[in-house]
Structure 1
Amino acid sequence: MRKLLILLIPSFIFARILIQGAMPIEIDTLVNAMNDKKVVKIGSYIFYEGKIKGRDIVVSRTLIGLVNASAATTLGITYFKPDIIINQGTAGAIVEGLKLGDIVVGDRIYNANSYKTPKSLYTINPLAKEPMIAPLTLLDTNNEDLKNEYFTSDETLVNKFISLAPKGVLKVNIASADAFNKEILMLHLWNKTYNASVEEMESVAAAQVAKAFNVPFLAIRIVSDNLIEDIDYTPSIAIKLQELLIKIIDKF
């Protein structure tokens, strides 16, 4: 039995985790907590390889936006071969009730940039936008189109994070787009269209690439603003989420 345990345990202990953040404020606390740190730059994308509490960690600064997140995730997977990807950072709440510092995990993650509109020569009508799934298409194992209306966080990772995090973590839908949107009516539209509670600019792209490579994925966000309730943008709140990850990463 002892020999069997020796064979089985290493794959669990030494699982490598890729943790992503778009901005310095979203990764610096993690990077500063790393031991045996090595910096790897591939093109415009920086990765920090090392250990936190004995766990093999790669911290990736994806840069802001969906294209950057896609590129950084692809590079992170192909170069570092992670077993788990955690995309984390700040998000803006678009519903009442979410406060500064609340933590959410992405249940369904939508690309709010992916839409189609009816033909119109002289008018622009945001309410006419309908979600389009073509840009979200991947190939299945038989090379057939696998159409995705949305992407999801890995259920096991979601449940594990919620069990380790403080009480009050919510599972929500996330709307991702290349937009820092302060138009309240547009935020209401995203809530209505996707039943989304928060919006941000990276996680759907990372989730799509993770699914393409079959890597378990988890989106975690901390609320940095809520324009519906006139709570202004506070990017430094990102530090609290990183501190939480550092606290629980050895149990993940």
Structure 2
Amino acid sequence: MSKWRTLLAGCALAATLAGCAGLPSGTALRLDETPRIAVISAFQPELTLLSAQLQNPRRQSVNGVEFTTGTLQGKPVVMFLSGISMVNASMNTQLALDRFKISHIVYSGIAGGVNPQLNVGDVTVPAQWGQYLEVLIARETAPGRYSPPPFIKDATLPNYGMLHPRPVEVRTAALPQIARKFWFETDPRMLEAARSISNVELEHCKAGKCLSHKPKLVIGGNGVSGQAFMDNKAFREYTFKTFQANVLDMETAAVGHVAYSNTVPYIAFRSLSDLAGGGEGENEMGTFMGIAADNSAKVLLAFLAAWK
């Protein structure tokens, strides 16, 4: 028994300092008790400008994910990369909620534009996010007709061929009964603070690459997320018509789902790096990713400065 006591004591000490890999799920210890805003991006270029503004950084690693605590615009934060994709975003957002005392979640990054009224470099702050690639793949029951099986009643949104969008299962501690939900609303108070943002100078040139227009900030509307990089004109048009989405990405709705399940307010800032297949020529992301990443980060910084 003394051997096991020694092992558990050592594991507890290691967990306090940097997270103990040997602890079973559900027994993870917080790395600090300061209430913090989680500031998340998917990959490093999206976090570069924000990292440069962070004061008093302190880095800790859990499961290979680097978390950096500090102060951003006078607010205590923990910054980290979720990784690209819905699964990574869900997993690492939950990891942050388990290991830190998270009061709010903000996401910053690039996205594909869906609304034909928006342009590369524009920054969007949707009021809600849905998982548009959560689908039933239906069988063809007649030439060109794809029908859900009769026992599936929730595939009611317009389909794209065999793909029938569906809401996802949700539950919370307060509402443990499984329900289905498509839209995950951003926090209304955070959205209202975003509406107060003004005088953010959005970039239109970087590293010798310039846009032909001045980017703008759009607050409200819809965003959608799914587990695929989208670069297809026809599917972009379907996505706008069906979901009235301004933008699409591969993480935000997953973060919104986790935020909902944990009853933590969230908001996301996304700048258009490309038009998801709607532009002339090849995809624009490789050309304008830097402009879009910085524009999203600039609006997030303005939001944190305004947030009470």
TM-score by length of 1: 0.86
1:127 matched to 2:161: yes
Verify the 8 A CA contact 1:165 1:244 in the aligned structure 2.
Answer: no
Q: Which runs of 5+ in 2 are unaligned?
A: 1-33, 147-159, 200-215
CA contact (8 A) 1:111 1:204 kept: yes
| Structure 1 residue 142, shift from structure 2 partner | 4.5
Instruction: Give the aligned CA root-mean-square deviation in angstroms.
Output: 2.3
Residues 1-252 of structure 1 correspond to what in structure 2 (within 5 A)?
16-120=36-140, 126-133=160-167, 135-139=168-172, 141-166=174-199, 168-226=217-275, 227-230=277-280, 232-233=284-285, 234-237=288-291, 238-252=293-307
Q: What's the CA shift for 1:240?
A: 2.3
**Within 2, Cα distance between the matches of 1:25 and 1:123?**
43
Mapped contact 1:45–1:63 kept (Cα < 8 A): no
Greater length-normalized contact order (CA 8 Å, ≥ 6 residues apart): 1
Where 1:180 maps in the other structure, the secondary structure is coil
* Bigger shift: residues 58-67 or 124-133: 124-133
Q: How far has the Cα of 1:197 moved from its partner?
A: 1.8
What is the identity percentage for the equivalent residue pairs of Structure 1 and Structure 2?
Answer: 23
Amino acid at match of 1:243: K
Q: Decide which structure has greater helix share.
A: 1
CA distance in 1, matches of 2:97, 2:44: 21
Residues 103, 136 of structure 1: alpha-carbon distance in 2 compared, 3 angstrom cutoff: farther
Residue pair 2:256, 2:266 contacting (<8 A) in 1 also: yes
Cα distance in 1 between the residues matched to 2:174 and 2:248: 32
TM, length-normalised to structure 2: 0.71
- What is the number of equivalent residue pairs in this alignment? 238
Query: Alpha-carbon deviation of 1:17?
Result: 1.0
**Within 1, Cα distance between the matches of 2:224 and 2:303?**
27
Residue 168 (structure 1) shift: 4.0
Q: Distance in 2 between matches of 1:224 and 1:165?
A: 22
| Bigger CA radius of gyration | 2
Q: Deviations over 1:143-192 (max 9, x none)?
A: 21232122111111111012124474231211101111111111112112
Q: Which consecutive unaligned segments of at least 5 residues does structure 1 have?
A: 1-13
Q: Which residue of 2 aligns with 1:9?
A: none
Task: Give the whole-Å Cα distance in 2 for the aligned partners of 1:205 and 1:36.
Answer: 30
Q: Which amino acid aligns with 2:164?
A: E
Give the deviation of 1:236 after TM superposition.
Answer: 0.5
Output the CA distance in 2 between the equivalents of 1:235 and 1:66: 20
